[in-house]
A and B are shown apart, each in its own frame.
Chain A
Amino acid sequence: DTEVTQTPKHLVMGMTNKKSLKCEQHMGHRAMYWYKQKAKKPPELMFVYSYEKLSINESVPSRFSPECPNSSLLNLHLHALQPEDSALYLCASSQEMRGPRGNQPQHFGDGTRLSIL
């Protein structure tokens, strides 16, 4: 069991659909992350929220829209995705984005496996 919960676990959508991925943590962490991971590759950072404010956007296309409604929740809104967006989308959290001694350990959810038809 992980302390970061992601829903849904699997999602199949067409290129014209609108859907949302959800992530929840109750560890009191103030930094939350979205990653995209392709098979046999490391995770690629998409967005970072720190204290509910968007801190990092790694030049992600606007068809991905993040939202942080409160300190425990993180959403990723999807619209007009492309087949190449099919991947595992991982949410993670950490106490802070960076501490005085560098990046802090991140806690990951099990991801949403997204398939674009």
Chain B
Amino acid sequence: SQQGEEDPQALSIQEGENATMNCSYKTSINNLQWYRQNSGRGLVHLILIRSNEREKHSGRLRVTLDTSKKSSSLLITASRAADTASYFCATDGAQLIWGAGTKLIIKP
């Protein structure tokens, strides 16, 4: 089942620029996770942010969480060609509930 929406559905930017993806969800959560999926590969866990956290960093990744707006954003700074992938948010429930994903293309 799908909890929420991700936007944009697709994003194309130049290498070196920052990329921001958004995720909205519907019910209260304990945590929210972000995953990356390269073409033809499995998903890779990027970061988990708990409901009592507002921001979290991991390398060039910055995730924010606004529980009052039921939304999260993933910022990738100084993008690289290797960041080209689909990005999914997932909120917790009886099982992970996945967003529809954002397809990110980094142009060299």
Contact = CB atoms under 8 A, between A and B. Distances in A.
Nearest to B93: A103
A41 B94 CA distance: 20
Given A102-B30, A102-B31, A42 B100 contact: yes
Interface stretch (A11-19, A64-72, A105-113): A105-113
Contact of A101 (B31, B94, B95): B31
Interface string A76-117: 000000000000001010000110011101111111010000
Interface in B49-107: 50, 88, 90, 92-96, 98-101, 103
A42 B33 CA distance: 14
Given A42-B88, A45-B96, A105 B33 contact: yes
Residue from A6, A56, A101, A107 whose CB has the most chain B CB atoms within 10 Å: A101
A56 B94 contact: yes
A21 interface: no
B33 A90 contact: no
B108 interface: no
Nearest to B44: A108
Given A42-B2, A101-B50, A105-B48, A90 B42 contact: yes
A97 B50 CA distance: 17
A32 interface: no
B67 to A, nearest CB: 13
B26 interface: no
Contacts of B94: 56
Contacts of A103: 30-31, 33, 90, 92-93, 95-96
Interface of B: 2, 29-31, 33, 40-45, 48, 50, 88, 90, 92-96, 98-101, 103
9 contacts: A40-B103, A42-B98, A43-B98, A56-B95, A102-B30, A103-B30, A103-B33, A103-B95, A110-B41
